[in-house]
Amino acid sequence: MSLRLFSNRFVHSLPCLRNATSSVIYRSFATKKYTLNHEWISVDNNVGTIGITDHAQQALGDVVFVEFPYLGKEVVKDEQVSAVESVNSLKNIYSPASGEVLEVNDALVEQPSLVNDSPEEEGWLMKLNLVETADMDSLLDETGYAKHVESLSK
């Protein structure tokens, strides 16, 4: 039984959990993956939401501008699709999966600091309609990403 199916059944079978939190949280937790370049992707119903990790935003400093791909653009896994500019540097964003750009986070145009304040929630960058969910297989889970970040500080 997949973790997603187990999580949904488990949460819905216990009223105290069902009322305390939605299965969407469990679903995104179970499907969030990370790249070695410090991007994350969370998949729900074949739509991947992409952003940068907390580690990446800390390294960047204060974000002042986010460059977005155009809607409808077909992107390929590991292709540069965006950039995040801070007062100190520029970080190119590489797509963790292949797909079509469905949406960009327009809130970042007026408030790019959301990337610093909430990099893995409100500061997401774009959403893709995924072409191949197998792209997720080569990405790191939360534990693997934490080990990767830890290895960088040694």
Q: In which region does residue 68 sit, left (phi positive, over 0), alpha (psi from -120 to 50) or beta (all else)?
A: beta
Burial of 106 (0-12, 13-18, 19+ CB in 10 A): exposed
* pLDDT tens, position by position, 87-116: 989 999 999 999 999 999 999 999 999 999
CB-based contacts of 124: which residues, under 8 Å, 6+ apart?
Answer: 49, 50, 51, 105
CATH number of the domain located at residue range(s) 33-152 in this protein? 2.40.50.100
Query: Which sequence spans correspond to the domains of the chain?
Result: 33-152
Give tens-digit pLDDT for 7-39.
Answer: 444 444 444 444 443 333 434 344 899 999 999
pTM beyond 0.85: no
